[in-house]
Amino acid sequence: MTFQSHKFPHSRSALSVRAECPVNSPEGNVRRNPTSIGERKVIFRIHRSEEVPAIEALFTTVFTDSGTEAEGCLIGKLARDLVEGTKACELIGFAGEEGGSLVASVLFSRLTFPTDIRVCLLAPVAVHSAHQGKGVGQRLINHALNALRNEGVEFAITYGDPRFYRKVGFQPICEDIVVPPFTLSQPEGWLGQSLSSDPIDSLDGTCSCVPAFHNPVFW
């Protein structure tokens, strides 16, 4: 099956991220974890409040390049809606920065379950077209997952291409057991991993997503 990239703009995740490190936190420079790309260095950090336009532009450009202009606009707007329309305690984003420019971004939003567990939805994620295929996406996601694990997030879920996400620890989950907020058009892309000592198999129940994802087009 060909995966439509707009169906897999992510990984989106929901958990209660600590309020002191939201996507728009001015404290966003803390964790740095550089990786080399030839002569250049990509720095991974939490997003800053002033870079919302850059986040929207990155997602718009990357998804236009990998799909269509309409898809680029859809995912760019999704990213803006997530950052501007989600409670700070329910969203966190991580950036890849090179030479002062935003070259990669991943957003995590809360997925709420009936029980009091902390679960994040990873989505969307984008690496600038000129930097793709060099390990930046995997490094960015691994950096983010480690940060979330350290914050006490228990599970991460995403909806995307398993060929990519299995490289960063995700495995298929059953939509009858972990019931998504909307009917999935491509249930093979429903993926999860544990960030705690509890196995991913222990996660179950129907989840709800943050408002920006209340649109069946994303599912």
Ligand X SMILES: CC(C)(COP(=O)(O)OP(=O)(O)OC[C@H]1O[C@@H](n2cnc3c(N)ncnc32)[C@H](O)[C@@H]1OP(=O)(O)O)[C@@H](O)C(=O)NCCC(=O)NCCS
Residues binding ligand X (CB under 6 A): 5, 8-9, 62-63, 66, 125-127, 132-138, 160-161, 163-164, 167
Q: Which is nearer to ligand X, 113 or 159 (CB)?
A: 159
What is the nearest approach in angstroms of ligand X to the Cβ of residue 68?
12
Between 16 and 158, whose beta carbon lies closer to ligand X?
158
Closer CB to ligand X, 79 or 195, in the complex:
79
**Distance in angstroms (rounded) separating the CA atoms of residues 102 and 32:** 14
Q: At closest approach, how far in Å is the CB of 216 from ligand X?
A: 18
CB of residue 7 vs ligand X: minimum separation in angstroms? 9
Cβ closest to ligand X, residue 113 vs residue 170: 170
